[in-house]
Amino acid sequence: MLDKAIDGLKDELIAAVQESVRIPSVAGVPEEGAPFGRNVKLALDHALNVASQLGFRVKNVDNMAGYGEWGDGKEIVAILGHLDVVPEGTGWKYPPFGGEIQNGIIWGRGVLDDKGPTIGALFALKAIKDLNISLKRRIRIIFGTNEESGSQCMARYIQTEELPAAGFTPDAEYPIIYAEKGVLTLTCHFPFSGDGPVKIVSFKGGVAPNVVAATAQVVIRASAEERRRIASIVDAWNGPERSGFKIVEDGVKGTITIEVQGVPAHGSTPHLGVNAILCLVDILSSMDLMKSQKQFIHALSSLIGMETDGTSLGIAMNDDISGALTLCLGTIDGNESDVHFTLNIRYPVTKKDSLVLDPLREALEKAGIAVTDVRHAAPLYMDPESPLIRTLQKVYKEQTGFNPDLLAIGGGTYAKSVPNVVAFGPIFPGQKYTIHEENECWSIEDLMKNVKIMAHAMVELAR
């Protein structure tokens, strides 16, 4: 009966997901009433409006979060999703904020991470409401707006709102995520001084710390003879498979621009991508740059190179629960005077952040690189025998017929921010996912499957 009710909401659900995807809710400049930017606020307004139209009690939490709620009872079951997205990047088959449907697939940034599942949760609750299923707990769909940039939204929610007795976030994989690695995001700085015949005047790449850089560009000022030498070095470069480059020379300005194409991937799985920034570092390491810039490039080359496990930085580690540490150099922004870059590190759940930070700082500072900012999200571990885990396992087994194995991931979700919550869905085992990649998409069939699984999970947790 519940599945049939959800099927009856299909057209309305798809339309609402498309509307949300069409809002380019990348973090922007803070404004009055829009702490994470105007477009992020528009996405929150849209979700609150959908929740209101579906007949739920709604609340805007200081324009940083919000929720739609139904039912009675002293305790709540919470489903947490986020409406902000990472930048779209390039190379899309269909418009990244078009929400187009082609061959039964919805295309667009955020459709999978995490607008589709979040809007889908509202319609799962709508079906429960329409059937007037008797429950002991209220069910609350919480909308976050800053998950991709630090989860300040959930910090504010925790300060002012009720915490759940149980819940899940549909922002990872099935069956159930019971462990999430700790996440460290560092901003680093290196000053340039002096001058020379070959000089970097601009170095830019990446879209976010938690995304493997798909593109990177460096502009070098040099004499005509040096530009020819640089071009020959680039032409001879034998980069990783799936990488590429382009050279543009400007004789009037006396510059040569090198653009490198890599392959994007989520920052928690950097080995699945090709980092364009690190490819460019590899190319630059063969050039006779001015002294301080050469020192910086050689430092990155020797300390990171093309590694994704932190070996040369002295921070490689692993455990039996969550596996190996991962490292992603996500963004870089430099000019003639200095350069800033970010490192996104996911460390095993049984380790302490100091085991990463202490040797990392030492290695970087020895190379003249200063760490100017550190953001930390501690690891998550949920007891496999907990009622929440057992209930979600029961639902997954009943709805899919597959074994409800427990997973540990490198990705960080809202489960780290709010107690009594784990990640549950939306990607099924064996599926290729496009989170943080170009051509992010989600089949309508899988969207509907997810809404049904979430609905049954809500009912079981709220009984």
Q: Which amino acid is at 412?
A: G
* Token reading at 130: 């329409």
Which one is catalytic: 88, 113, 114, 147?
A: 147
Which one is catalytic: 84, 88, 171, 437?
A: 84
My answer on whether omega of the bond before 114 falls inside 30° of 0, hence cis, is: yes
385 catalytic per annotation: no
My answer on whether omega of the bond before 170 falls inside 30° of 0, hence cis, is: no
Q: Which amino acid is at 298?
A: H
Determine contact, residues 410/178, Cβ cutoff 8 Å: no
- Distance separating alpha carbons of residues 227 and 150, to the nearest angstrom: 41
Is residue 139 classed exposed, middle or buried when 0-12, 13-18 and 19+ CB atoms within 10 A define those classes?
A: buried
353 catalytic per annotation: no
Query: Sign of the C-alpha dihedral, residues 329, 28, 101, 452?
Result: positive
Catalytic positions, written as ranges: 84, 147
